[in-house]
Amino acid sequence: MARKYFGTDGIRGKVGEPPITADFLLKLGWAAGQVFANEGHDVVLVGKDTRISGYMFESALEAGLTAAGVDTHLLGPMPTPGVAYLTRTLRAQAGIVISASHNPYYDNGVKFFSVQGTKLPDEIEEKIEHYIDSPMTTVESAKLGKAKRMTDAAGRYIEFCKACIPTRFDFSGLKVVVDCAHGATYHIAPHVFSEVGAQVTVIGANPDGLNINDGYGATQPGHLVAAVLANQADIGIALDGDGDRLIMVDHKGEIVDGDEIIYIIAKAKFEIEQMSGPVVGTLMTNLGMEIALKQLGIPLLRANVGDRYVLEMMSEHQSILGGENSGHIICLDRTTTGDGIIAALQVMAEMYDKGKSLHELKSGMQKYPQILINVKIAKKTNPDDNETLQKAVRDIEQKLGDKGRVLLRASGTEPLIRVMIEGEQDALVRQYAQELADAVRQSLGA
């Protein structure tokens, strides 16, 4: 059954435009309440990032849930993985996050977690959509839900993060710069890293409702690079607006992306015989990571782009580690969803154990040059059905041999063809990518 409102990561859009409106969020809260309600008053947790629209949508969801007879515990600003953790440990019926992740402040969205702290199954989302399109009713007054603020939510999550690494790790000599993207980790990440002993400099931790992800965070690490160099720090840690994405910076100011972070964690687990199952990446995972993991004897599986698909494949193949080069990193032996703070702590623990810098740890993996070109076309088309393009792909694959990779795929949301080429030589990769992009324009019409 095709879903009308839910995408791959909840419901997201521009504030004030359907479906990201106050009246829709009211109805969504009520619809979710209808699905989650059992006998008596069940509890749903609601957390948010620091967008100014979060206040409005928090109130709307609360009203809808209350009308359905469901109790609401309001967490306030809380990273997405923090909501997942609290939903699981408090055994709430569900958790709701009001966030548009790494998007600008004028976007917002809603995503759900199950009582297990995982994304909702498709069938539950479909049930919620059924109620969204049904007339809204209100339970009798004696059965209305109640709402309360949970004042210790941040402290609970901070303690969980710290507990994910043993107390033997001593980071007292480690200089760390933490970039919170003016987002949901602003009052959490600095405490976690300082309380495990690191010397912490904080940037991007003054949210005003409008500056989330604006020039700071995992998608814009320029300020972090500058701060690491200026403070002569050992590492930089950049989180995104809702804390589920991580990009790091080494002491030389070089960016360490999600693929390199996953490789470091995988190698660490492998060496102490705690690596279980394959690593799950995506179609965009760098070929260099696949080769480096292969040398360790760790297989790599590729899921479609999106942490939802990564998690599904991880569950299917009993994997404990997966993620995307964008920085969504899932450590299933520690938590149930992507968590930037948890992933960063795993890397810091490996630096301590090996006595090596982040720069040295990442050097075991050599990233291949990777070029991505988005080609706008007249209408949505599947390039797999075009024999001319498929021949062009095969010709380039033959030239690259086993030292490169070609990916040609249609965007799922707009009339774009994504052309991606990887290989050993940057100049050749750029040449082949441009040739294939030109072939797309000629065959499908720009």
CA–CA dist 109, 107 (Å, integer): 7
Full strand arrangement of the beta sheet holding 416-423: 370-376, 416-423, 404-410
Cβ pair 292, 365 in contact under 8 A: yes
CA–CA dist 74, 58 (Å, integer): 8
Full strand arrangement of the beta sheet holding 235-239: 199-203, 175-179, 235-239, 246-249, 255-256
Residue 416's SS3 state is strand
Q: Which residues neighbour 399 within 8 Å (Cβ) at sequence distance 6 or greater?
A: 432
Nearest 5°: phi and psi at 237?
-125, 115
Residue 367's SS3 state is coil
Question: Is 134 an active-site residue?
Answer: no
User: Of 303, 309, 299, which is closest to residue 284 (Cα–Cα)?
Assistant: 303
Nearest 5°: phi and psi at 318?
50, 45
User: Of 220, 152, 151, which is closest to residue 182 (Cα–Cα)?
Assistant: 220
CA–CA dist 20, 143 (Å, integer): 28
Of the listed 101, 114, 319, 326, which one is catalytic?
Answer: 101
Residues annotated as catalytic are 101
